């Protein structure tokens, strides 16, 4: 039984799954939105939110932890210089999943994953 085990296998080995999530997260941080299947989108949200939360802590250790996950220096700079200041008021919920429908080739559910904007202050 799989009780108490969070996460999806996505039909891949552990290393393949980790590589997929790193690749999807890098693309998400670079373009700020990507289109992928529903299961991958839900796993990507978990992964990306953890990376942003680690980056928000600041300091050298946070930089090293993010650098372990995201290998692209350009994307790492974008995370620390643009995304962290944008999300400094947010406690979570940095990503949004919008359902787009079904892919024509295999009828797989397709979602748009995008990074949210800054938190709107209500008066």
For 34-82, write each residue's pLDDT tens digit: 999 999 999 999 999 999 999 999 899 999 999 999 999 999 999 999 9
Q: Where are the domains of the chain?
A: 16-115
Summary mean pLDDT of the chain: 92
Q: Which residues of 4-31 are buried (b: 16+ CB within 10 A; e: fewer)?
A: eeeeeeeeeeeeebeebbbebbbbbbee
Look up the pTM and report it.
0.89
Fold type of domain 16-115: 50s Ribosomal Protein L17; Chain: A, (3.90.1030)
Per residue in 90-99, pLDDT tens?
A: 899 999 999 9
Alpha-carbon gap, residue 54 to 66, rounded angstroms: 7
Q: Which residues, at least 6 apart from 39, have a Cβ–Cβ distance to it below 8 Å? A: 8, 10
Structure tokens at 69: 């996950």
């Amino acid at each position: 039984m799989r009780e108490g085990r969070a996460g999806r296998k996505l039909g891949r080995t552990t290393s393949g799954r980790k590589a997929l999530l790193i690749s999807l997260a890098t693309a998400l941080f670079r373009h700020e939105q990507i289109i992928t299947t529903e299961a991958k989108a839900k796993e990507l949200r978990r992964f990306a939110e953890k990376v942003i939360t680690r980056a928000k802590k600041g300091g050298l250790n946070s930089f090293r932890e993010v650098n372990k996950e995201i290998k692209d220096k350009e994307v790492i700079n974008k995370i620390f210089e643009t995304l962290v200041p944008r999300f400094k008021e947010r406690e979570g919920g940095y990503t949004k999943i919008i359902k787009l429908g079904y892919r024509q080739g295999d009828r797989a559910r397709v979602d748009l994953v995008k990074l949210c904007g800054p938190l709107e202050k209500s008066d």
